[in-house]
Chain A
Amino acid sequence: MNLLELHNLKKYFATQKAVDDISMNIEQGGIFGLLGPNGAGKTTLLRMITGIFYPDSGEILFDGKKFNALEDARNIGYMPEERGLYKKMKIGEQALYLARLKGMSRADAMSSIKKWFVQFGMESWWNKKVEDLSKGMSQKLQFVTTILHQPKLIILDEPFSGLDPVNANLIKDEIYKLAENGSTIIFSTHRMEQVEEICDHIVLVNKGQKILDGTVQNVKQDFKDHIYQVGGNILAENLMTHIFQVVKLQNGELQLKLNEGTKPNDVLSFFINQGIQINSFNEVLPSLNDIFIKLVDGTGTARAFQPVN
């Protein structure tokens, strides 16, 4: 079942088509990666999903019903890329305030805050102010305030920036747990190795348009270059053939690219016929990073301003 459906969303600013006709579905309980270069329209898209912006046209369905920013705020937790907390406010009061703004009762909010503060080892922070915290600590606090009200949809914009590996893992584990317990997570980033590790499903946007949509495995299959890694005692003089091209040969390890019409088994036969010992043979799938660069590169690193009409 889809928790969130976007149909033909458009949002134009004076000098930018920030989001230009994007549609996508996000399944309940998954971890969804929203990728794109800087200025691709990710933040604008997320702001429409959180109800901060109204789309110029298009429709958002949340939990099967038309999205209503005020009512559905209760079910959404949003952690923007630029962190925001009141510097001079006590941490406990701040968490309580943000949870109650989401519509929690005072008692519910308190018990939820206590639970999360214990889990993250933040009990001693209650009477401290945000200005007393380090960047990583305030990041943790921001994450906790985002999920305090047990939202169905959690939107995290670059959640790991500024975190050391220990704290990053702590939050990563929480993200997995939340997804297991049925929360849906939208994870916006341009750090591809994290996406590959965490996400089930990705969408790539560039220049306000969706250019890729699918599960991580499918996307990799779609973009594979038919490159194989062959392990064995291979020498350069063994490679006189037209069925593949050599990408790289190093210490007897060969990377090759299949030519049109060649099957992987043809390669194996080719080596076996020459009596060469093969230790390993596997397909090399492109990393998301490669796919990202391949798709986005050449379209200009920065978006040029364009007239809308």
Chain B
Amino acid sequence: MNKIGLIIGREYFTRVKKRSFLITTILVPIVIIGFYAAIIAVMIKGGDEKQSIAVIDDANLFNGKIETKSKSYNFSFIRNETEQVFATKYKAKGFDGFLYIPAFQLDSPGRFTLHTPSSASLGTTAALERIINKAIEDKRLIAQGFDPRKYEAIAADISLGNTIDTKEGSKQSMAGVAYGVSFACGILIYMMMIIYGTQVMRGVTEEKTNRIAEVVVSSVKPFQLMMGKILGIGAVGLTQFAIWIILMFMMQLALPLIFPDIVNQMKATAENPAAASMAANIAQGISSLPIGKIVFSFLFYFLGGYLTYASLFAAIGSVVSEDQQEAQQLVFPVLMPIILGFVIMTKAINEPNSSLAVFGSLFPLTSPIVMMGRITYEIPVWQLALSMALLFGCFLLFTWITAKIYRTGILMYGKKPSWKEMMKWAFRKS
């Protein structure tokens, strides 16, 4: 037992100490989050500074006055100028942009134009569109004989809440958030199983082709070497998750400090009520999820799925030589159920209680991924228990079989054995 600890330690530390581990673990999420943050920052930029915009209102849409709650824009009406002439002058006069409203029929508004020196931000065009739409609507209401202020009092703007009723009580839900979390968990398990499974396979092949395996198995049992490698690499995966979770918390704390503008923007932009309510809904949606259940299931299914497949990958690694093509041929049938699981998972998110989803989340080769797709929904306890038991049983069975293939394969050099020969090794006694 002590020796398997040594092997786990070696597998773990040689990987964790590598520079590439640090890069993929720490840099990749930072780069991804930074990338999204940059996109968001660029998208909503345009409100943090006051923009002065010239307006030529040939249609007299605004009656010389624009009412808006936003303090981001400063409108100045220009008279006695044409669009073509003023387009050459507004920059020199200190305007950030120039809005041209040609004369138009109320029932068929023409083409309104915003002139800017460089492409206008989405926030700016959206805000101006809202202002113009409001003005046109007001005019139309008046033309129909309504008082715009009365209409405003009549108009409704509701959002539909979704309450999930479970045994623990009723909770608010946000379908989009549940969907997103399920999908993210499923994809993460899918990727981790393939990435770490492949690492196990490479490690085994390396030991075999370096002939270190023969030295090591004269000190320990081949099974200890195989399990040590699988567990050590699994521990690397868990470490990676732990670092990511810590990073996520730190991000949550640090984001407002790094980008105070964004958060203020989100809170303050009353002209962007959709975005504000979405942020609130996401926060509410996340708090409505059964976090404990998700985290526990995620860890269980990651470990269960990884261990089940890792033993298969180890067996493949033990029978191939350095030739990558040989490995690919053998890996393909192992990847098939993983990919199938991913496909079923995308279906299961939309229909978590369909028979396909239930089957996929019980069948041990697909359950780690598919169950993640259902995890934010209510799953009958017996299904969860049966799925976990089947996965655990499958892990034991696969390990028992693959250990025999591994034991023979790791000391065989030369030609790759056929499937028939491998089956013979697997089911031979002792």
Contact = CB atoms under 8 A, between A and B. Distances in A.
Interface of A: 14, 47, 50-52, 54, 69-70, 73, 76, 78-80, 82-89, 97-98, 100-103, 145
B212 interface: yes
B10 A83 contact: no
A78 B218 contact: yes
A102 B219 CA distance: 6
B229 to A, nearest CB: 12
Given A86-B212, A88-B14, 6 more contacts: A78-B218, A79-B215, A80-B211, A84-B207, A101-B216, A101-B219
B331 interface: no
Given A54-B430, A101-B6, A83 B211 contact: yes
B218 A50 contact: yes
B6 A97 contact: yes
A105 B14 CA distance: 20
Contacts of A145: 215
A255 to B, nearest CB: 45
B231 to A, nearest CB: 16
22 contacts: A14-B421, A51-B218, A52-B217, A52-B411, A69-B221, A70-B220, A70-B221, A73-B219, A73-B220, A80-B211, A84-B211, A84-B212, A85-B215, A86-B206, A86-B212, A87-B210, A89-B10, A97-B6, A101-B6, A101-B220, A102-B219, A145-B215
B3 interface: yes
Given A84-B211, A86-B212, A73 B218 contact: yes
B355 to A, nearest CB: 45
A85 B210 contact: yes
A76 B218 contact: yes
B411 A47 contact: yes
B181 interface: no
Contact of A100 (B6, B215, B217, B411): B6
Contacts of B212: 84-86
A85 B214 CA distance: 10
B213 interface: yes
B10 A80 contact: no
A66 B254 CA distance: 65
A84 B215 contact: yes
B6 A52 contact: no
B217 A101 contact: no
Contacts, number: 64
A80 to B, nearest CB: 5
A98 B215 contact: yes
Contacts of B219: 73, 98, 101-103
A80 B215 contact: yes
Nearest to B14: A89
A14 B14 CA distance: 38
Contacts of A52: 214, 217-218, 411
- A-B pairs, top 3 by smallest CB distance, nearest first, are A84-B211, A84-B212, A82-B211
B14 A78 contact: no
Interface string B190-220: 0000000000000000110011111111111
A270 to B, nearest CB: 59
Contacts of A51: 218
A50 B218 CA distance: 6
Interface string B163-203: 00000000000000000000000000000000000000000
Contacts of A70: 220-221
Contacts of A101: 3, 6-7, 216, 219-220
Chain A CB count within 10 A is highest, among B14, B213, B219, B221, for: B219
A132 to B, nearest CB: 15
Interface string B10-45: 100010000000000000000000000000000000
A102 B6 CA distance: 11
Given A97-B6, A97-B10, A84 B218 contact: no
Contacts of B217: 52
Given A98-B215, A101-B220, A86 B6 contact: no
B56 to A, nearest CB: 70
A288 to B, nearest CB: 28
Contacts of A103: 3, 219
A227 B212 CA distance: 48
Nearest to B212: A84
A237 B219 CA distance: 68
A112 B424 CA distance: 44
Nearest to B18: A88
B430 to A, nearest CB: 7
Interface in B215-242: 215-221
Contacts of B221: 69-70
Contacts of A73: 218-220
A84 B214 contact: yes
B420 to A, nearest CB: 11
Nearest to B215: A84
B5 to A, nearest CB: 10
Contacts of B218: 50-52, 73, 76, 78
Contacts of B411: 47, 52
Contacts of A14: 421, 424
A78 B214 CA distance: 9
A302 to B, nearest CB: 14
Nearest to B219: A101
A76 B220 CA distance: 12
Given A52-B411, A101-B220, A82 B6 contact: no
Contacts of B213: 84
Interface string B361-379: 0000000000000000000
Contacts of A69: 221
B1 to A, nearest CB: 11
Given A73-B220, A89-B14, A78 B215 contact: yes
Chain A CB count within 10 A is highest, among B3, B213, B218, B430, for: B218
A145 B215 CA distance: 10
Contacts of B14: 86, 88-89
